[in-house]
Chains A and B, each alone.
Chain A
Amino acid sequence: MIPAAFEYYRPKDLAGVLSILEEHGDDARVMAGGHSLIPMMKLRMAEVPHLIDLQDVDGLHGIDISNGQIRLGAMVTQAEIIDHEGLAAVAPILREAALQIADPQVRYMGTIGGNVANGDPGNDMPGLMQCVNATFHLIGPEGERSVPARAFYEAAYMTAREDEEVLTAVTLPVPDGGYAYEKQKRKIGDYATAAAAVQIVKEDGVCKAASIAMTNLSDTPVFSEDACAALLGTALDDAAVKAAVTAMLGDIDPSEDNRGPVAFKKHVAGVILRRAIERAWSRA
């Protein structure tokens, strides 16, 4: 379990990172917490001749909340998300989800940037970020640009990020209404068999806005517009929730693996989404 040899770099600024990426192209890769990348390097499923450690890079750390906007630096860890009281007060869904990722040791190291940039369908943050309508900020040789989380994922491990681009931050509007992150896993620390991120706004007993995204049920996270639409304008009676679940099932495309056959995954997805909707509604 020893990775292939590589050159190690620990630049202090983004200019340093970008110049190494430019010089070595495909042969260079950034590392954040390393808790997805190092296991892949040990299995020799990822080959990284030039490894750029982001830990000392200026400007990638920190959580800022102002004017209804939240900014999470790419190197913010899951543990920092959990511990930040201000963040939990305005966006409690982030803490609820982070607490369901991996285990304490992994959460001290795993970062938001690594989790959303990785492109593994099993990662929990991508679906969560689609639910809260986050934006990912990238910097590359051509300058800076931003991509909505809902347009970022193309296929497993394929994202809108170019190889020579670095993700610097994730921003999101302070979410509105009730929330829930529900995750079914085989054991604590496991990736999801199915997970649902839900935000619902209630006004006079009626659903005014809904946002629903599912994890590990396709080769990308699934933001289900039809499931959201099924809840809008209803009082979230049983028929509305059923319609939302049916709409969601039409949008996912799970495949059979060691977490179960397709029919089982669809069943679990339905149960999890129903729970998440009911809990979000009860908090709305």
Chain B
Amino acid sequence: MSKKMHIKLNVNGKDEEFLAEPRELLIYTLRERLNITGPHIGCETSHCGACTVTINGKSVKSCTMFAAQADGAEITTIEGIGTPDALHPLQEAFKEHHGLQCGYCTPGMITRATKLLEENPNPTEEEIRFGMAGNICRCTGYQNIVKSIQAAAAEMNAAKEAAE
């Protein structure tokens, strides 16, 4: 065993400090140490995107990052996107448009989609499919995921316009 490191993270706005071996993968830090179980482990081999979180403004597969690498970072997981009483427009749209079936991929999908819409608030279907290519879903056939993201984009753009 190597010596433990002192690691500081800010997860969903909350500061976290702990000692961990550097080899600890961030997905385990989140799920097992911090009990943030929204990000899932689908493949553990960097392919499925179920573990996607936002780290310093980037969508990252947290099974492919050491907690040590994230030391000092700001992290957002699905838990930091909307609440059960006030769903994020993406969450609302996934619910409304059947963007999920078993729900296993959904936290990663929605977390990735928040970043996609931030970078491209008005994506075409093709841009959505390309921008979501790092997230795999075994259930939906993707059609309703695309529809949900389109609906959320429309909703968010309308809200932005109304606010202006």
Contact = CB atoms under 8 A, between A and B. Distances in A.
Interface of A: 1-8, 10, 31, 34-35, 38-39, 42, 51, 53, 55, 79, 102-106, 108-109, 188-189
A4 B23 contact: yes
B23 A3 contact: yes
Given A1-B45, A51-B22, A105-B60, A8 B5 contact: yes
Given A6-B2, A104-B112, A35 B46 contact: yes
B25 to A, nearest CB: 7
A105 B49 contact: yes
Given A4-B23, A104-B59, A109-B64, A34 B69 contact: yes
A7 B2 CA distance: 6
A8 B66 contact: yes
A35 B1 contact: no
Nearest to B25: A2
B160 interface: no
Of A2, A42, A104, A106, most buried by chain B (CB within 10 Å of CB) is A104
B58 interface: yes
B58 A108 contact: yes
Q: When A and B form their complex, which 5 residue pairs have the shortest distance between CB atoms, in order from nearest? A: A103-B134, A8-B22, A108-B58, A105-B134, A5-B2
B65 interface: yes
19 contacts: A5-B1, A7-B3, A8-B5, A8-B66, A35-B46, A38-B65, A38-B66, A39-B64, A79-B58, A102-B134, A104-B59, A104-B132, A104-B133, A105-B52, A106-B46, A108-B58, A109-B60, A109-B64, A189-B133
Of A42, A79, A108, most buried by chain B (CB within 10 Å of CB) is A108
Contacts of A39: 45-46, 64
B61 interface: yes
A17 B162 CA distance: 52
Given A8-B68, A104-B112, A189-B47, A109 B25 contact: no
A3 B28 CA distance: 13
B131 interface: yes
A105 B69 contact: no
A42 B51 CA distance: 16
Interface string B42-84: 0011110100100000111101111011010000000000000
Which label, helix, strand, loop or mixed, suits the secondary structure of the B interface?
loop
Interface string B114-153: 0010000000000000111110000000000000000000
Contacts of A109: 58, 60, 64-65
Nearest to A189: B133
B2 A106 contact: no
Contacts of B47: 189
A1 B44 contact: yes
Contacts of A34: 64-66, 69
B92 interface: no
A10 B6 CA distance: 13
Given A105-B61, A109-B58, A5 B21 contact: yes
Nearest to B28: A2
Nearest to A3: B23
Nearest to B63: A1
A148 B156 CA distance: 49
A108 B64 contact: no
A2 B27 CA distance: 11
Contact of B134 (A5, A31, A38, A189): A189
A104 B49 CA distance: 10
Contacts of A55: 69
A2 B3 CA distance: 16
A201 to B, nearest CB: 31
A104 B23 contact: no
